[in-house]
Structure 1
Amino acid sequence: MAASRKPAHSRTSPVRKKTTLRKAGPARQKTTVRKASEKRWSQRVTRESNALDLEQGVFKLTDPKKIAASLKHSAERSSRRKAGAYRSALSMLTFYINRAGKTLPKFQRERLERAKTELKRQFGRE
């Protein structure tokens, strides 16, 4: 005799359906007000980095050599950094590029990418 088997997906208890419906209402707006420093945490990291004390406006400079020189100077002077001077300077530059994302204008991104190459050259890491 063949024993009848229940399919593996069958349930022993009846399926319950939700009977309460949500009313469609206007979309909720956030009511909390944030300070600019809380909203832009990456700006605070750049300004108050534990590794480097950066020159004011270093990433706005127009010459990639000056950007690299400033980062190198800041990294070599810092006594709080946990990695080597080259690694700290390059990390800060990469962090700025990555956090700016799509809002960074193309010409400025290219300038900062050239500053990376210049930083490598100034540290003798070509």
Structure 2
Amino acid sequence: MTTKYGKKAQEEVGKALHEEKHHELKSGKSGKTVTSRKQAIAIGLSKARKEGAKVPSKRNATRH
């Protein structure tokens, strides 16, 4: 069973990927330009979570 993402989450990830493609997306504290597509997707999902979109919670780094 796959996890469903909301429409708002899809829009945020799309915006982040567009900005990354045009070298406009900046990372958090350092403010460096994002060069990785995976990082751009993570930033888009994070923004969607903050706005209350339907996005699954992050997976724990340590899984047993």
TM-score, normalized by the shorter chain, greater than 0.5: no
TM range (shorter): 0.3 to 0.5
Does 1 or 2 have the higher relative contact order (CA < 8 Å, sep 6+)?
Answer: 2
* TM-score computed with the length of structure 1 as normaliser: 0.23
* TM-score computed with the length of structure 2 as normaliser: 0.38
